[in-house]
Amino acid sequence: MTAPLFSIVTPVYAPPLDVLADTVASVLAQECQDWEWILVDDCSPDPGVLALLREHAGRDPRIKVVARETNGHIVKASNDGIDVATGEFVVLLDHDDLLTPDALARNAAAIEAEDDVDYLYSDEDKVAADGTFYDAFLKPDWSPERLRGQMYTSHLSVIRTELLRRVGGFREGYDGSQDHDLVLRVTEQARSIVHIPEILYHWRVVPGSAAADAHAKPYAWIAGRQAVQDHMDRLGLAADVDFGPHPGMYRLERRLDPALKVSLIIPTIGKGSMIWGLHQVFVVEAVRTVMAKTRHQNFEIVVVYDPPTPQAVLDELADLAGDRLVLVEFDEPFNYSRKMNIGALRASGDRFVLLNDDVSIRSESWLEDLVGPLDEPDVGMTGAKLYFSSDTIQHAGHAYNRGHYKHPYMGAPGSSPGHFGDLVVNRETSGVTAACAAMRRDTYFEVGGFTETLPLNFNDVDLCYKVRHHGLRIVWVATCELFHFESRTRKRIVEAWEKSRTVSRWGVPANDRYMREAPGPAKDGDEQPGTRDPRSMPVHAVAPSTGRRVLRRIKQTLTVQA
């Protein structure tokens, strides 16, 4: 294998000398030797910093030192390094962090495997002052919706130099979120984006850094919001960007064209149950909350009902929805998939919202948030964040992984942010439940709607597979929130043939691209996203381990090369 030349770019300003020495050692310990390292001293007040850099440059001709005469901050210093880079790819490394010895080698292998790749990122963890590695971030594969909600790719970022220069490098005015702004612009134009699912970068935790405290740099949060807004504006996507629930996270407030008609398709038999101490008819509660909390006015409600539905229920629906209501009688043996397909045929909207009757709208902008992402042609389906009546998580996206169909986070506290924001940031997923999902009209019919040979379970899993088979993204929307009082009108029974039929159509689920777990046994209730056995949150974090041995090894490399 012939590795490309990597240009490692590191802006340097006043790091502790021992910390800087560790960073130097981690670069010198690289298994891949095809690199140059451009260290830009941003006028550090301690002359020992520049002296140390020049000392190492004198020992290794691959190390280049740029000494700025004035302090220009991270953007100017980084651009100075990019200007003198001669490598095919630029590797971004902070002056106090550590690369794993195989970091460049793993990137070289990924580039050889996919020669049109323009951007690569990998997993990361943090390293404490005592050398302990912790807080492993096992990232999803390329998730453009998630990148709008948080800078999740971050370390280690490797960018094709030609593209990096074409987009203009780092931009001034985005200090603190300059990487987020850059990667948004890079990925807008990148031909191929590769995620290496291995920890190749250790982010050092020092007092005052964002690694130690997300609140340490409030200006970075402000700059990040502007970066995401710029990105949405460049793409012509109608959304206002606001601050998310935690520092470094952002919320997209989608806007819908008033001319866009949305059809809500709801199957029902008109039953009810006790909810929060009161007997409620499910479909009536669903329609009541739709009417009360939907701001977008151009919508219809298509209710597909079985004949046992009481006339009083149909009359109440008419009172609530008026001329928005479209009633469709379904006089056949129960088949959820067929009911939804018939509802779709009667719907007249440009967008379909697939909605169970046993839901209650929770968030005010639910429809805009759910339907808005479908303005992007490569988004084929969206899904909502659903809660049990106990305020615990019922649905946060499907994960098809390790031979099972899973509901990650089912039963987790509703207030939990999840693993690095899984539960509060919009993101791509393997699938979503049809209890609340949205699709473009043309996409629904292009993929064939629901498969009617799956009348009860796995029909939404199958639908998601069909959407992805057409090369379309599925987006789970954290800000579209509903309660889901599931399975209160009938007992949920999952038959073995339902899973077998799904496997025969799509194969055994192997490695989920968007929701990664540490190895562990499968749990009861994981077989079918429609089952209702709560499970604990998946284990994502890697147990802390000491890094002293690694630091000793890379320091020994430095000593030998000296």
The pLDDT, as a whole number, for residue 538 is: 30
Res 510: pLDDT: 83
DSSP 32: -
CA distance linking residue 443 with residue 381, whole number of Å: 9
Find out whether 406 and 510 touch, Cβ atoms under 8 Å.
no
What pLDDT, on the 0 to 100 scale, is given for residue 183?
98
Q: Domain coordinates of the chain in residue numbers?
A: 6-244, 262-506
pLDDT along the chain (562 residues), means of 10: 90 94 96 97 94 94 96 95 98 97 98 97 94 94 98 97 98 96 98 98 77 65 97 97 96 97 97 89 97 97 97 98 98 96 98 97 97 98 97 95 90 94 96 98 98 96 97 98 76 82 92 67 38 28 36 48 42
Q: How many other C-beta atoms are found inside a 10 Å radius of the C-beta of residue 223?
A: 20
- Element at 546 (helix H, strand E): strand 545-546
Identify the H or E element spanning 21. helix 17-28
Regarding beta strands 98-99 and 192-204, do their DSSP bridges make them parallel or antiparallel, or are they unpaired?
A: antiparallel
CATH code of domain 6-244: 3.90.550.10
- End-to-end CA distance of the chain: give it in Å, rounded: 28
Q: Give the distance, in angstroms, between the CA of residue 515 and the centroid of all CA atoms in the same chain.
A: 9
Rounded Cα distance, 452 and 130, in Å:
59
Distance CA 349, CA 261 (A): 5
pLDDT the model gives residue 515: 82
Give yes or no for a contact between 524 and 321, defined as CB atoms under 8 angstroms apart: no
Q: Which two tokens stand for residue 288?
A: 């009541």
Residue 519: per-residue pLDDT: 36
Q: Is 194 helix (H, G, I), strand (E, B) or coil?
A: strand
- Distance (Å, whole) CA 265 – CA 480: 17
- What tokens does 400 get? 């098809």
d(CA 262, CA 267): 16
Residues in a beta bridge with 267? 304
Q: How far apart are CA 90 and CA 412, in angstroms?
A: 40
Cα–Cα distances (Å) from 76 to 40, 57, 72, 118, 224, in that order, read 10, 21, 5, 23, 18
How far lies 451's CA from each of 131, 303, 332, 470, in Å?
54, 20, 16, 16
3-state secondary structure 148-164: HHECCCCCCEEEEHHHH
Question: Within 10 Å of residue 1's Cβ, how many Cβ atoms?
Answer: 9
Residue corresponding to tokens 């996409």: 443
Q: For the domain made up of 262-506, give the CATH fold.
A: Spore Coat Polysaccharide Biosynthesis Protein SpsA; Chain A (3.90.550)
| The two domains 6-244 and 262-506 share their CATH topology (first three levels equal) | yes
Task: Count Cα atoms within 13 angstroms, Cβ side, for 113.
Answer: 11
Strands 250-254 and 239-243: antiparallel
Helix 459-469 with 496-506: angle, nearest 10 deg: 10
Q: Please provide residue 7's backbone torsions phi and psi, each rounded to the nearest 5 degrees.
A: -105, 105
- The CB-side HSE value for 498 (13 A sphere, CA atoms) comes to 22
pLDDT given for residue 517 in this prediction = 62
pTM: 0.89
Please, which residues have CB within 8 angstroms of residue 135's CB and are 6 or more apart in sequence? 125, 126, 541
204 φ/ψ angles, rounded to the nearest 5 degrees: -75, 135
* CB-based burial label for 62 (10 Å; 0-12, 13-18, 19+): middle
Q: Which residues pair with 300 in a beta bridge?
A: 263
Q: Are 555 and 24 in contact (CB under 8 A)?
A: no
- CB neighbours of 504 closer than 8 A, spacing ≥ 6? none
